[in-house]
Every structure is written in structure tokens, then in C-alpha cells.
Chains A and B, each alone.
Chain A
Amino acid sequence: AQSVTQPDIHITVSEGASLELRCNYSYGATPYLFWYVQSPGQGLQLLLKYFSGDTLVQGIKGFEAEFKRSQSSFNLRKPSVHWSDAAEYFCAVGPMEYGNKLVFGAGTILRVKS
């Protein structure tokens, strides 16, 4: 069965510090991979996605993620965190075939301290 694991429920980083959020997936084929961000009371916003090609993908708001097939990972990174990045982050996996429903991880809550 498809599954996504985000091992860290909460992460706290200082403003200006670097960030890495972990994501591991279990999937029977080559998946499509996504990172979404959710602020309180807001819907999910897509940060970036990986379908094929270059395994390092760039997204919005200065985020990037690297797909590592051998580790079944798709970790999200940002070199310098801003206070406005405080939110909950979800990793998701979707199939290549028809009907691209997404399977989400449980999320990681990011807190930024000044």
C-alpha cells in the first residue's frame, strides 16, 4: 500500500537558520511527489513537485527538495528560514496513472523562533 512518513511532528528552528523536513514514501512504482504548506485556516498550497528529470527541484518561497530513489526520500530544504515560514508542511505522493488522488503524510509543524 502507498504510504508517506514524515518522522518529525514538530520542528523548531531559529530565523535565518537552515531547514530540512524529512519525507519517506512507500510506493510500488515511480511516484509523483509533492510538498504542500498549510497555514492556520488556509487551504493547502503547493510548494513544489517532482515528476521526472532532475532530482533536485525548486519551488516557491525559496524551497527546494531532492528526490532520492535509493532512499525513497523526498526531503524539503530551505537555506534560510523566515518567520513567515511557520506553518504545517505535508509531503504527498500520487500515481502516474489515471485519477491522481494524493496520499499525504501526517505533516510536520514548523515553528520559527526569532
Chain B
Amino acid sequence: GAGVSQSPRYKVAKRGQDVALRCDPISGHVSLFWYQQALGQGPEFLTYFQNEAQLDKSGLPSDRFFAERPEGSVSTLKIQRTQQEDSAVYLCASSLNSGPGSNEQFFGPGTRLTVL
């Protein structure tokens, strides 16, 4: 089957614009994660869903960031009033179930966001 897909792959936004980034996880995967990867850095956790429930949003950097997964499959990360510091690659990952630690996270190719 297909892996995790993300769209768009590249997004250029003017400062102040709103953007929406989409993630299609592997079918049947319960857990979904968003990470932010700044240039030259490792990915940093943003938020976590188990099915449609957002169980951890401790990594969201500000209230301009909002994520949802209304039907427990596709997820959207929305950034309002984008700022230059939001420029990064946004990675989505999914894993099969919500058990502790042992489940491999499968990553999508990421969306590279550039805010001008």
C-alpha cells in the first residue's frame, strides 16, 4: 500500500497569509504526528492524534498553529498569519496503534514552507 503522503510538497506564502498543510496517513494507522524541521535541525514534535482525538499539542509554538483530524484519518495543519520564523519543513508521521513506544513511525516526504 501507499505510504504517508503530504500536500503540497512546497508552499510559498507571504507573511501574514494563512496556510493549510495536508497529511494522508497510512490506511488504518491510529496514531498521527506532526513535526517541524527547521533548516539544519532535527524534527521537533508539534502535536499528536490518536484517531480523531488530539491528545498532545504541547509542541505547537503559538496559537497561530492549529491541527485537526476530524474523521481519524486525514489531518490538516493550519498556520494562521504566517511569520518568517514559520519557514520549515513540516513532517507528518503515522503509526499503527497507540501502544507505548514500540510502534514505528512512518514519515511522509514533508511540506517545505517558505514565508517571504
Residues of A near any B CB (own CB < 8 A): 4, 32, 36, 41-46, 49, 51, 90, 92, 94-107
> CB-CB contacts of B63-93 with A at 8 A, as 1s and 0s?
0000000000000000000000000000101
B: interface residue count bin: 20 to 34
Known: A43-B109, A101-B48, A107-B40. 12 other contacts (CB 8 A): A32-B101, A43-B106, A44-B93, A46-B106, A51-B102, A96-B100, A97-B101, A100-B102, A102-B35, A102-B43, A104-B43, A106-B40
A96 and chain B: residue at smallest CB distance: B101
A104 to B106, CA, bound (A): 15
Establish whether residues B91 and A43, one from each chain, have CB atoms under 8 Å apart when the complex forms.
yes
**Given A99-B55, A104-B44, A106-B42, is A32 in contact with B109 using a C-beta cutoff of 8 Å?**
no
CB distance from A56 to the nearest CB of B (A): 18
- Per-residue 0/1 for B5-45: is the Cβ within 8 Å of any A Cβ (1 yes, 0 no)? 00000000000000000000000000101010000111111
A106 proximity list for chain B (CB < 8 A)? 40-42
Which of A36, A46, A100, A104 contacts B100 (CB under 8 A)?
A100
Interface residue SS majority, chain B: loop
Docked pose: A90 CA to B41 CA in angstroms: 10
Q: List 8 A-B contacts (CB under 8 A).
A: A42-B109, A43-B107, A95-B100, A96-B100, A99-B48, A101-B33, A101-B48, A101-B59
CB distance from B12 to the nearest CB of A (A): 17
Question: Would A98 and B43 be within 8 Å (CB), given that A41-B109, A46-B104, A49-B104 are in contact?
Answer: no
